[in-house]
Structure 1
Amino acid sequence: MHWLFEIFESKSDQARLVAILVSAVVAILVVLLNQWFVAKRARKELLISKIEELYVASSEYVSACRNILYSLKKEEYRSEHGYFNPPRNLVDEIGDSLSKIEMICGLYFPEINFDPDKYKIWNMEIIKAAEKGTVPPEEEGYMMHEDAWRHVRNSRATLDILCGDLMREYGR
Structure 2
Amino acid sequence: MIFEWFSTMFSEPSEQAKLFTVAISTTLAVTLLLLNQLFIRKRDRKERTIEKLEELTGSIHEFYSLGLEVNRSLNLGKTYDDKLIEKFVGLGIKVNTLCSLYFCQSKIDTSISDDIISLGIDGLSEPKLESGDTIPSDHPYLEVNEEFHAWFEESQLKLEQLINQHVK
Q: Which TM-score applies when normalising by structure 2?
A: 0.84
Q: Which digits, 9 at most, give the CA deviation of each residue in 1:106-133, with x for residues without a partner? A: 111111234332x2232577414313x1
Is the 2:108–2:155 contact (alpha carbons within 8 Å) kept by the matching residues of 1?
no
User: Within the alignment, does 1:107 sit opposite 2:97 as a pair?
Assistant: no
- Which is further off, 151-160 or 51-60? 151-160
- Among 108, 115, 127, the alignment partner of 1:122 is 115
Deviations 1:47-103 (CA, angstroms, capped at 9, x unpaired) = 0000000011101111011112222323xxxxxxxxx33222221121111111111
> What do you get for the CA RMSD once the two structures are aligned?
2.2
Gaps of 5+ in 2: 128-133
Deviations 1:1-37 (A, max 9, x none): 2111111111111111111111111111100000000
Contact 1:98 1:116 in 2 (8 A): yes
Mapped partners of 2:89, 2:167: distance in 1: 28
> Runs ≥4 in structure 1, deviation > 4 angstroms?
123-126, 138-141
Native 8 Å contact 2:106 2:162 kept in 1? no
Q: Which sections of structure 1, spanning at least 5 residues, go unmatched? A: 75-83
Q: State which drifts further: 85-94 or 101-110.
A: 85-94
- Deviation digits for residues 136-164 of structure 1 (CA, Å, limit 9, x no counterpart): xx998724332201122012112211211
Query: What is the SS of the residue equivalent to 2:138?
Result: helix
Query: TM-score with structure 1 length normalisation?
Result: 0.82
In structure 2, the partner of 1:157 is: 153
Residue 97 of structure 1 corresponds to: 91
Q: Give how far 1:134 is off.
A: 3.9
Alignment partner of 1:144 is 2:145: no
Matching residue of 2:15: 13
Compared CA separation, residues 89 and 141, structure 1 to 2 (3 A): farther
2:154 & 2:80 partners in 1: Cα distance? 25
**Distance in 2, Cα, partners of 1:124 & 1:105:** 22
Q: Distance in 1 between matches of 2:17 and 2:63?
A: 68
